Amino acid sequence: MRGDMAVLVLLLAGGAAWLLSASTAAAALWIADTVLGLVFFVAMVALCLPAAWRATSPWLHRGRIAAVSIGALSVLYLVWVELFAVNAICLWCTAVHVVTLCLFAAVTVGQSMGASPPQAPARSAG
């Protein structure tokens, strides 16, 4: 299965993506970077739903900022891997990196415009 996927990625990205996925520098905790990226985007879809933005839990808002920050830091690391460890630029990866950085900017601006996470309603004594 991995061989078939590598051939597909090789055809789509001109070969650089295959080089990156085969690189040991592009895996964290022995999990392929493509799997981690998929998990990141699935989580960010859930964290960026309108209902999640309206939620009153401050932990949800902190989790969204933490997740998108980890994603942005991962992008910076993977760009370093592309430029200095593998010496190959993957166009598909670059598009994903741009989307991740735009998501980071949108979440950061969205959080700052909200000033602070909504607080839970205070309970009345009585």
Higher pLDDT: 53 or 33? It is 53
34 within a domain of the structure (yes/no): yes
> pLDDT tens digits for 2-46?
554 554 444 444 556 656 666 666 556 567 778 888 999 999 999
Compute the radius of gyration of the chain from its Cα atoms: 18
Question: CA 5 to CA 81: how far, in whole Å?
Answer: 21
27 within a domain of the structure (yes/no): yes
64 within a domain of the structure (yes/no): yes
CA atoms within 13 A on the CB side of 37: 17
124 within a domain of the structure (yes/no): no
Number of domains comprising the chain:
1
pTM of the model: 0.71
Range of the domain at 66: 2-113
Please, which pLDDT band fits residue 90 given cuts at 50, 70 and 90?
A: confident
125 within a domain of the structure (yes/no): no
Which ranges of 81-124 would DSSP assign to H, the alpha helix? 91-113
**Residues pairing with 27 in the sheet:** 32
118 within a domain of the structure (yes/no): no
